[in-house]
Amino acid sequence: MMEKPVVEGGKPVRQQYLVFGSPEIKQAEIDEVVDSLKSGWLGTGPKVARFEKSFRDYIGCKHATAVNSCTAGMHLSLLVAGIKPGDEVITTPMTFSSTGNVILHCQAKPVFADCEKDTMNIDPKEIERKITPKTKAILPVHLTGRPCNMDEITRIAEEKNLVVIEDAAHAIEASYKGKKIGNISPLTAFSFYVTKNVVCGEGGMVTTNNAEWADSIEKYALHGLSRGAWKRYSDEGFKHYEVVFPGYKYNMMDLQASIGLHQLKRVEENLKKRERIWKKYDKAFEGLPLETPLPAEENTRHARHLYTVLLKLEELKKGRNFIQQALHEEKVGTGIHFISLHLHKIYREMFGFKEQDFPNAKFVSGRTISLPLSPKLTEQDVEDVIQAVTKVVGYYKK
């Protein structure tokens, strides 16, 4: 007889709740943060500069500028690329709200191009359909860590004289046909949020090979000052600053960089850990009424940020929200990545979107569940996730 889930009166798989996306923080990060606290330099300083250099070396780009979030990085990238009120920026609706919001922050118009149903990434054919005389940029998102079709996106951009700004919040380790994400397009923004593959708690980075843009991003990120705090108060002596344009408060702190420095050192080691978990999930979920992620495309490297399954609702008695709650009752935390932006109130009201305007994004939105994939997971944690998914999804199979 099939074991009952907790929602049907059964016993939970776990006793202690497994938090989705809980980061692995080691003693090296703690010691580095304490060192910063003792030094008295908490704000933007020498460790931010070290982190920028380490990230630049890892990506292979010429410039890397640390900011306080990927959202800030995308916003500043749009500004330095010249996006102005009334311009149109094409992006995917299958993303987090920040991708669309930063376009609105520039008083530009986000234009959605539907995703591919299988990869969940933006469809280049849909990009071409949405280009108008007002289109100035394309903002692709490497969802879950899977690189977008950058050959096609780059071709379209070059033919139409558009700038490409990549949202690589999920894609620090990713590469596309031998090129690291972050060293392909004119501008790329990364995230170091608490659930990401490199964690700073909060934080982001913008990479570019354009020195003028890098300089402008650095100024924009700290009030538009001509010199950052670290440069003004360094051993060379105090230097007066000048405000060169109205900037923002988007700078990263040394406290954040202290964590990131050691997280970045383990980025490849942690990717291998997540790859092992990924393979276990793939094998364990064979035969269940769900679709596991596609293998990485040829000559690309998947960053393995999110292990996202799509429920086969036609084979299940319950919907996605019920299944997610049932897993929660088994004490296994999960995520939803994402509810398509065109389904959210603000975008519905601003642009009059209907559910079927982006059918693939709607399809994914109603079926997606992301499972725990942190390098912090123990072997038992992984087995518990597998047991909980097998138990719940198997029980509600038609």
| Domains delineated in the chain | 6-23+268-395 (3.90.1150.10), 27-265 (3.40.640.10)
pLDDT score at 243 = 85
pLDDT score at 181 = 98
Residue 206: closest CA among 218, 195, 194: 218
Q: Which residues of the chain have pLDDT under 70?
A: 1, 227-239
pLDDT score at 225 = 84
Tokens representing 72 are: 């800030």
pLDDT score at 242 = 81
- pTM over 0.85? The answer is yes
pLDDT in tens, 51-75: 999 999 999 999 999 999 999 999 9
What residues form DSSP beta bridges with 207? 64, 188
pLDDT score at 237 = 55
Tell me which residues are annotated as active site: 196
pLDDT score at 226 = 77
Q: Using CA atoms, how far apart are residues 247 and 356, in angstroms rounded to an integer?
A: 39
Close Cβ partners of 356 (under 8 Å, ≥ 6 residues apart) = 362
pLDDT score at 2 = 82
Q: Using CA atoms, how far apart are residues 301 and 315, in angstroms rounded to an integer?
A: 32
Catalogue the E-assigned strands of the chain. 63-67, 88-91, 109-112, 135-139, 163-167, 175-176, 179-180, 187-191, 204-208, 290-291, 300-301, 307-311, 368-371
Residues in the chain: 398
